[in-house]
Amino acid sequence: MVNREYLDRVTKLTADNPTKYIKIRDIFEEVFEGREPGSANDISDIKYKRICARFQDIDVPFSWCCSKEEVYQLCKAIADYRDKKRREENTTVKKTQKSKKKGLFGLFK
């Protein structure tokens, strides 16, 4: 389960700067090669340093990558946000139409 704080960060980031959100998402996809880490321990030191260096290049706050746990939580929040958006896009809102009542067996209005 992703911490609410991280989901709020991602939501605010997409509202304020959607290109930075896309860059962060792409960094995670590139570093983890499309797979999600199972825990913060699954992030190797080399991958963590690569993520931190890439985050510095795009001016991401240091507090977002000060530990492996922070990076893991941010990665999970971005993945959850992306899944949520996909579900919203795939869900079509259908309005139910009420049939018009026409009296006795449809003979009278």
Model pLDDT for residues 2-48, shown as the tens digit of each residue:
678 888 888 888 888 888 888 888 888 888 887 777 777 878 888 88
Model pLDDT for residues 55-81, shown as the tens digit of each residue:
888 888 888 888 888 888 888 888 888
Q: How far apart are CA 30 and CA 75, in angstroms?
A: 12
C-alpha 100 chain-centroid distance: 43
Q: Where are the domains of the chain?
A: 4-83
| Residues 73 and 6 sit within 8 Å (Cβ to Cβ) | yes
Radius of gyration of the chain (CA): 22
